[in-house]
Amino acid sequence: MNAITTLQAPALERFIARARGDVSVLRGDLPTRAVEAWHYTSLRDVAKVPFEDAPDADFEAARALIDAHFPADLNMARAVFVNGRFTPDLSTGLEAFDIAAFSPGSGAMARPERDAIAGINAALAQDGLTLRVPQDVDAGRLALISVDVGQGRFSTHPRHRIVLEDGAALSLLDLNFGSGAYLSNPVFEIVVGDRARLTHAKVQDEDCEAFHLALVYADVATRGLYDSFTLTMGAALSRHEVHAGLLGGHATVHVNAAQLLDGDRHADLTSVITHGNPDCVSRQTVKNVLLDTSHGVFQGKIYVDRIAQKTDGYQMNQALLLSDRAQIDSKPELEIYADDVRCSHGATVGALDEEQLFYLQSRGIPRDDARAMLVRAFLTDAIALIEDEGMHTLLDAAVDAWWARRS
């Protein structure tokens, strides 16, 4: 092993050349696996590519992709971003929402000086959803659709800012898909006010040649709820990284996820949940279904501040390996400075149960259908954790579609 700790990155040189804003956040190189936070996920393949500005959107291609991914009967307002740009012609039902024009400048919550991926977004973001849900308003459901489509190697860096004022509510369906060998690099800055409730259901189904590096910063105030679920199925390499802060008493955060991977895909779910106040609750159930030579990563850190007494933290990572060449890396981490806390974590790895398979087959169910049923069963309790039940059907359908098309 040589002691390279940074990647000499054509990607970064190109990012610097493309950046219109502050490039200081881009000085330095991409982290290598010698950096603890990137131990299980290598950015080598990303660093090699000099990603260009996204081409002009091909509306017909984008529309076709949306039709393929977004159930036609889904009656939901939608904000559509094609190649990182808000696209009014494909968006609908937004009149009811308080959406402001995008303003550049590095976000208040993202920490570009500490995180290279946030830095890239800070330097290159040109658009994003800036949404405010006013006090005590339940804004209902909104689909945020991000489509990347085009030839060549390009990257998009949307930055979304979502603020729920005290007592507000929103259910956000965050869909990500596309066609091409692009890098999708979205950053979310989310503020959940007192007693406010945000559901954030994400589906990442990017092209199998694409990269997806997402960062979510969510601050939750007193008695607020950030209820998130991330379904990852796509991209060659992806990471969904969440930094959630419990900033008021009795606040709750759910960072649940399922990673369904086939082929040679690599997906990483990384989270840092900071209990900064007493009586807060964090819940995390992450399920992995791994086929072929795929590789799942879970890194979950729960940090409990000295003053965060009565913290209730739970973390579970489970992997179903459907091939003996699939791989899971799991790194739970508890860092606790308060003395009166309840934190538990666990991990399981296993294959499908032959006895269960036989039971189903003996009832006439063909083996592949039986496997599908057990995979669905494995995911059921995680999907059921989303508090907006309307999202369950949608995610179930996405899981079914994934199973039906997998290689």
Partner 1 sequence: MTMTDFLTVTNLRARIDDNGTPKEILRGLDLEIPPGEVHAIMGPNGSGKSTLSYVLSGREEYEVTEGSVRFKGQDLLALEPDERAALGVFLAFQAPVELPGVNNANFLRTAVNAVRRARGEAELDAVGFLKAVRAETKRLHMSDEMLKRQVNVGFSGGEKKRNEVLQMRMLAPSLAILDETDSGLDIDALRIVADGVNSLRGPDFSALVITHHQRLLDYIHPDRVHVMAQGRIIHSGGPEVAHELEAKGYARYLQAAA
The residues of the shown chain that bind partner 1, judged by CB under 8 A, are: 354-356, 358-367, 369-370, 373-374, 376-381
174: enclosing H helix or E strand:
strand 169-179
Pick 16 or 373: Cβ nearer partner 1: 373
What is the C-alpha separation between 139 and 372, in angstroms, rounded?
36
* Closest CB 325 distance from partner 1, rounded Å: 22
DSSP code, position 92: B
Spatial contact of 311 and 345, defined as CB atoms under 8 Å apart:
no
Pick 277 or 285: Cβ nearer partner 1: 285
* Closest CB 225 distance from partner 1, rounded Å: 25
* Closest CB 262 distance from partner 1, rounded Å: 21
Pick 35 or 377: Cβ nearer partner 1: 377
Pick 103 or 362: Cβ nearer partner 1: 362
Pick 37 or 360: Cβ nearer partner 1: 360
Pick 315 or 318: Cβ nearer partner 1: 318
DSSP code, position 54: P
What is the phi/psi pair of residue 301, to 5°? -115, 135
Closest CA to 132 of 192, 64, 183, 181: 192
Spatial contact of 287 and 374, defined as CB atoms under 8 Å apart:
no
Strand 237-246, strand 266-275: pairing: parallel
* Closest CB 352 distance from partner 1, rounded Å: 12
Pick 67 or 381: Cβ nearer partner 1: 381
* Closest CB 254 distance from partner 1, rounded Å: 19
What is the phi/psi pair of residue 329, to 5°? -120, 130
User: Could you tell me the end-to-end alpha-carbon distance of the chain, in angstroms, rounded to an integer?
Assistant: 34
* Closest CB 234 distance from partner 1, rounded Å: 24
The single-letter code of the amino acid at 50 is P
Spatial contact of 204 and 232, defined as CB atoms under 8 Å apart:
yes
Tokens at 54, concatenated? 């996204």
Pick 74 or 373: Cβ nearer partner 1: 373
What is the C-alpha separation between 149 and 182, in angstroms, rounded?
8
* Closest CB 157 distance from partner 1, rounded Å: 38
* Closest CB 256 distance from partner 1, rounded Å: 15
What is the C-alpha separation between 305 and 192, in angstroms, rounded?
20
Tokens at 283, concatenated? 């819940």
Spatial contact of 55 and 151, defined as CB atoms under 8 Å apart:
yes
